[in-house]
Structure 1
Amino acid sequence: MSKNILLGITGSVAASKSEILFKNLSIDNNVKIICTDAGLLYLSDDFIKNEKIISSWEDSPGSPHIELARWADEILIYPATANFISKMSMGIADDLLLSTILMSNKPTYIAPAMHEEMYLNSIIQQNIEKLSINHIICGPRYGELDIGDTGYGRLIEPHEMINHFQKDKFKVVVTSGGTMEMIDSVRMISNTSSGKQGRALGMELLSRGYSVTYVHANNIKIIPHAKNISFTDSKSLKNILQEELSDSTYLFMTAAVSDFIPDYKDTKLDRSEGSLNLLLSPNEDIVKEVVTNFPNLTTVAFSAQVEDNLNFEKIKDKGVNYLVINNIAKNKIGSDHNQVSIINQTDLLYTSEKLKKEEIASLIIDNTMN
């Protein structure tokens, strides 16, 4: 069904992609453009000449911010710069595009585009998190940036932007980081999982338009435009999954769950009492229980090993759909790089080279999601 779409363009070098987006959107929809003064600098002369672009109050008589906000079924900001995101999060309305968004009572689709250092700046992260409460953040993704750099902040592609508001978003749960099992009231055992691979998966899934619930260890940073839930120990992780998986389609179980748990003492153990024998008991297999409780869920488990064995015994025992195997003797925990093999119940599907974890995340999704 045809929609009235308002396309907002801001001053990023990636703004040239908005010309492709406009062309594709216009096939089945009525599209109008508001472009900031800075955005005009990155559009082609032919596009500016041939398309009706509103860039100031003088371009449209009356009260265009009111009329356009009420006309639009959907508002897309593609690309959205760090400056624009910051102003929008503060409710600033010092140009026509910002005024129109402030006038609108609908969620706006916002596609960030900037260099990685700007995107990861704590202020921008806070602004994106704030906007994500009432709006839909579309990307960015990891990839090639300006001046030959690579990192987070790349604008999603035009067809991906269209998918964000045309495709039904099914829910994906990603777990990340290590559990912390308490010994006494102040001490615990844990592992050195950095959560980097899980976070990279969550970011890539969001850039592809999925609804992501990011279940992460409480010492790991959130993803600002995901639904974030933190866990401490394996029991809290299990309880969260029980709550979140009933309406989920996929689970990426990247979290490093302790294989053993101590016999908890509700006190602070005192060294004056001498040597301590710590009893560790095998922990329950959370992912195995998940498979039993949610048989329609597609589950992707992860196996950190010290050898390259394609662990078909493990995938059959757990009953998961896919197993992602990495050799931690070759790829140290906490590294920015990884090398994985992906298997299903019967076959080796893919073996990667050693790549950045962000690139690995994309390959895992490509090989496990239909």
Structure 2
Amino acid sequence: MKVLLGVTGGIAAYKALELTRLYIKAGFEVQVVMTSGAKEFIQPLSFQALSGNPVRDSLFDANQEAGMGHIELARWADIIVIAPASAETLARLCHGRADDLLSTLVLASDRPLLVAPAMNRLMWANAATQENIELLKARGLQIMAPGSGEQACGEVGEGRLPEPQQIFNASQEVLAKVSANATRQQKLNNYWQGRKLLITAGPTHEAIDPVRFIGNRSSGKMGFAIAEAAAKAGAQVTLIAGPVSLKSSPDIERVDVRSAEQMFAAVKEHYQQQDCFIGAAAVADYRVKEAANEKIKKQDGVDELTLELVKNPDIIQWVAAQKDKPFVVGFAAETNNLIGYAKDKLARKNLDMICANLVGESLGFEAQDNQLTFITNNKVEENPLSDKQDQALALLAFIAGNN
């Protein structure tokens, strides 16, 4: 295995020497890339002695760049590890900078990236750093939590570089996950290639008047993740999306709707000839019986407003009741009695499968991670907590193995 080890400026740079030794001892090939800041703390010759390779530190190295060396190096690695990663490096990665060798390599690579930050406790806690961290995580980067304790500056708090053995172990886990995902992706491709998938995603907004609506906290991220994963596996995907700000791939046929009735009409138009229907949308159960044509104004002395609600169509139950129905997968988002409510919904609506997940504070809606439990008439399989992209792959793999 080949690891590209990026070392950036900070007193913790000396720990990267021990990390290099661990990789070499385990049989890895190591290529170290140092930033100009890193060289202020430690000499490149130390890394060269341990790795057996000259340190790369310049984007404009005439000898290396004659053959587009930075592109070749980006393709060479099986994994890129940046340890320590300074606050400046996090900002560069966040904004897609490519004005030094390390940031250019990251931008030009599709290899897994593991980042181990190290900085002063206040720099770590700064809102700008935390926003950068959240954005990078949302893009799928693996970012280790820094350690807590006494820092070189004399202060005490979070921001210490994780120990080299921890970073080594984390990189091994990332590589194992990549290998497992590659195997799973091949199985997904074998099943989903050419199959037709119809999926609903996001919330619905039920108008009260021209400016107000009844809605929910669904972000649509889970449904969109499933659609993207299925399209990548070769499925012909039609995505019916409620009002969300998410983007979808050009190879996905997308239909944008706002209300439950609009979503129902779109499903009825597209469900035929589908191999699978996944109802991942959080469809509003009720709508206002008669929405106002003009904005409802507050009235002095009137403290209450009564809205008459009527039931919306049950989209997934309708699809499951059709004689020419596809394989139907529902979702059960619950705050308690998860398995019980999900099994009841599975039976009551005559579904082939249901995905159950708890929702609430930091769970399900609006969160990056999710935990789905897959339920059929004869099987219950709990998927571990992970990001929604991984949950999507697990769901598609479960359907492939049980259909």
User: TM-score interval w.r.t. the shorter chain?
Assistant: 0.5 to 0.7
How far did residue 260 of structure 1 move? 1.9
Identify if the C-alpha distance between structure 1 residues 283 and 310 changes in structure 2 by more than 3 Å, giving closer, same or farther. closer
User: Aligned with 2:326: secondary structure?
Assistant: coil
Q: Which residue identity lines up with residue 190 of structure 1 in the other structure? A: G
Identify if the C-alpha distance between structure 1 residues 163 and 360 changes in structure 2 by more than 3 Å, giving closer, same or farther. closer
Give the equivalent residue in structure 1 for 2:378. Answer: 346
Instruction: Establish whether residue 74 from structure 1 lines up as the match of residue 104 from structure 2.
Output: no
Instruction: Establish whether residue 93 from structure 1 lines up as the match of residue 78 from structure 2.
Output: no
Unaligned runs of at least 5 residues, structure 1: 130-136, 327-332
Instruction: Establish whether residue 262 from structure 1 lines up as the match of residue 260 from structure 2.
Output: no
Instruction: Establish whether residue 182 from structure 1 lines up as the match of residue 213 from structure 2.
Output: no
Give yes or no for contact 1:287–1:301 (8 Å, CA) kept in 2. no
Give yes or no for contact 1:75–1:108 (8 Å, CA) kept in 2. no
Give yes or no for contact 1:177–1:217 (8 Å, CA) kept in 2. yes
Unaligned runs of at least 5 residues, structure 2: 118-123, 149-157, 159-169, 365-370, 399-403
Identify if the C-alpha distance between structure 1 residues 272 and 177 changes in structure 2 by more than 3 Å, giving closer, same or farther. closer
Q: How far does the alpha carbon of each residue in 1:326-347 deviate from its partner, in whole angstroms, 9 at most, with x for none? A: 5xxxxxx532358986532224
Alignment partners' CA distance in 2, 1:22 and 1:210: 36
Q: Which residue identity lines up with residue 109 of structure 1 in the other structure? A: R
Instruction: Establish whether residue 282 from structure 1 lines up as the match of residue 282 from structure 2.
Output: no
Identify if the C-alpha distance between structure 1 residues 113 and 185 changes in structure 2 by more than 3 Å, giving closer, same or farther. same
Identity %: 10
How far did residue 324 of structure 1 move? 1.1
RMSD: 6.3
Instruction: Establish whether residue 113 from structure 1 lines up as the match of residue 111 from structure 2.
Output: no
Give yes or no for contact 1:10–1:36 (8 Å, CA) kept in 2. yes
Alignment partners' CA distance in 2, 1:282 and 1:344: 26
Give yes or no for contact 2:90–2:129 (8 Å, CA) kept in 1. no
Which runs of structure 2 are paired with 1:1-370 in the superposition (5 Å)?
A: 7=4, 9-11=6-8, 33-37=31-35, 38=38, 49-57=50-58, 62-64=63-65, 66-69=67-70, 71=72, 74=75, 78-80=80-82, 81=85, 83-84=88-89, 86-87=91-92, 89-94=95-100, 96-98=101-103, 108-109=110-111, 111=113, 113=115, 121-123=130-132, 138-140=140-142, 145-147=145-147, 157-162=174-179, 178-191=203-216, 193=217, 232-234=258-260, 253=280, 255-263=281-289, 265=291, 267-268=293-294, 270=296, 278-286=308-316, 289=319, 295=326, 299=329, 301-304=331-334, 307=337, 309=340, 311-316=342-347, 317-324=349-356, 326=358, 334-336=360-362, 342-350=374-382, 369-370=397-398
User: Aligned with 1:257: secondary structure?
Assistant: coil
Alignment partners' CA distance in 2, 1:23 and 1:241: 60
Q: How far does the alpha carbon of each residue in 1:165-219 deviate from its partner, in whole angstroms, 9 at most, with x for none? A: 785586999977643211221222224x4659x669969x99xx999x9998757
Alignment partners' CA distance in 1, 2:269 and 2:19: 41
How far did residue 258 of structure 1 move? 0.8
Alignment partners' CA distance in 1, 2:70 and 2:274: 33
Alignment partners' CA distance in 2, 1:249 and 1:24: 45
Count of aligned positions: 323
Q: Give the TM-score, by structure 2 length.
A: 0.52
Alignment partners' CA distance in 2, 1:241 and 1:86: 47
Identify if the C-alpha distance between structure 1 residues 337 and 159 changes in structure 2 by more than 3 Å, giving closer, same or farther. same
Q: How far does the alpha carbon of each residue in 1:137-177 deviate from its partner, in whole angstroms, 9 at most, with x for none? A: 54337xx723278xxxx876122345677855869999776
Give yes or no for contact 1:75–1:109 (8 Å, CA) kept in 2. no
Identify if the C-alpha distance between structure 1 residues 258 and 125 changes in structure 2 by more than 3 Å, giving closer, same or farther. same
Give yes or no for contact 1:259–1:282 (8 Å, CA) kept in 2. yes
Structure with greater Cα Rg: 2
Is 300-309 or 168-177 further displaced after alignment?
168-177
How far did residue 5 of structure 1 move? 7.5
Q: Which residue identity lines up with residue 113 of structure 1 in the other structure? A: V
Alignment partners' CA distance in 2, 1:179 and 1:187: 13
Alignment partners' CA distance in 2, 1:346 and 1:190: 34
Alignment partners' CA distance in 1, 2:116 and 2:309: 51
Alignment partners' CA distance in 1, 2:206 and 2:179: 44
Give the equivalent residue in structure 2 for 1:132. Answer: none
